[in-house]
């Protein structure tokens, strides 16, 4: 089989969440961070014929980059990456040493729903870097107006940058994220945030979603 560009994009994104990955038979994959505070599920355009475990996903992707458009031939304990007269044999990992979600996540009732545009997200991440602040806060005022703000919540005089993102949230609420946990594939997202301590970011144009734990208030 050949891997489409969309599948490669998802794998690169997942490598930023967790170095290892268990790919099950079919076209759905999932990953979970080592801290278990980020979980993602994606449906791919490509279908895998068997289950494989990859211990170092970045290394596997680097091996793939040695070729232009290779064919992947999956064996019992390794995959053969082949193109023209070149080939590379890459061995699978033991599935028991790979961190993977054990069950599906059910999103509880949400206190806020809004659309997060790629441009707005990029602005917030850039502002976090420019101001050297680690936190993103969803502020909901007394009228239910929602805004995202990057700041340092441990510093009362922290510089900050904020953007309004919608209306209709549960009034007088604050929800906290670490910017470093927002490892999202590029695109626009429908976002749900719950006071139960979890959020969901669902890509509008691609079949991928992320469940990200909130930081304690």
The pLDDT score that the predictor gives to residue 64 is 96
The pLDDT score that the predictor gives to residue 38 is 97
In this model, does residue 39 exceed pLDDT 90?
Answer: yes
The pLDDT score that the predictor gives to residue 55 is 96
Neighbours of 18 (CB within 10 A): 20
Tens of pLDDT along 62-107? Answer: 999 999 999 999 999 999 999 999 999 999 999 999 988 988 888 9
Query: pTM for the complete prediction?
Result: 0.95
Domain 112-213 in this protein, CATH class: alpha beta
The SS3 call for residue 216 is coil
Closest by Cα among 50, 194, 182 to 120: 182
The pLDDT score that the predictor gives to residue 104 is 86
Q: Report the mean per-residue pLDDT for the chain.
A: 96
Measured distance CA(56)–CA(20) in Å, rounded: 5
Q: What is the DSSP letter of 48?
A: E
Tens of pLDDT along 160-207? Answer: 999 999 999 999 999 999 999 999 999 999 999 999 999 999 999 999
Closest by Cα among 8, 14, 102 to 56: 14
In this model, does residue 17 exceed pLDDT 90?
Answer: yes
Burial class (CB in 10 A: 0-12, 13-18, 19+), 84: exposed
CATH of domain 5-97: 3.70.10.10
The SS3 call for residue 11 is helix
Domain edges within the chain: 5-97, 112-213
The pLDDT score that the predictor gives to residue 103 is 82
The pLDDT score that the predictor gives to residue 174 is 96
Report CA 69 to chain centroid distance, whole Å. 25
Average pLDDT over residues 142-162: 96
In this model, does residue 158 exceed pLDDT 90?
Answer: yes
Q: What is the DSSP letter of 97?
A: G
In this model, does residue 217 exceed pLDDT 90?
Answer: no
């Amino acid at each position: 089989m050949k891997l489409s560009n969309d599948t490669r994009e998802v794998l690169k994104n997942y490598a930023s969440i967790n170095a290892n990955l268990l790919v099950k038979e079919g076209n759905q994959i999932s990953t979970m961070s080592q801290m278990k505070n980020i979980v993602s599920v994606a449906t791919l355009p490509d279908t895998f014929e068997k289950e494989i475990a990859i211990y170092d996903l970045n290394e596997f992707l680097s091996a793939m980059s040695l070729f232009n458009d290779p064919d992947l031939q999956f064996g019992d304990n390794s995959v053969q990456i082949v193109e023209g007269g070149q080939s590379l044999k890459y061995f699978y990992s033991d599935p028991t040493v790979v961190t993977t979600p054990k069950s599906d996540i059910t999103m509880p009732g949400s206190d806020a729903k809004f659309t997060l545009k790629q441009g707005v997200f990029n602005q917030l991440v850039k502002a976090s870097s420019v101001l050297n602040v680690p936190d993103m806060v969803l502020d909901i005022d007394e009228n239910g107006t929602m805004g995202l703000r990057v700041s340092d919540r441990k510093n009362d005089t922290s510089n900050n940058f904020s953007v309004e993102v919608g209306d209709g949230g549960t009034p007088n609420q604050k929800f906290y994220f670490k910017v470093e946990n927002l490892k999202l594939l590029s695109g626009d997202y429908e976002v749900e945030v719950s006071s139960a301590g979890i959020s969901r970011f669902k890509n509008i144009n691609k079949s991928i979603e992320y469940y990200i734990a909130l930081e304690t208030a």
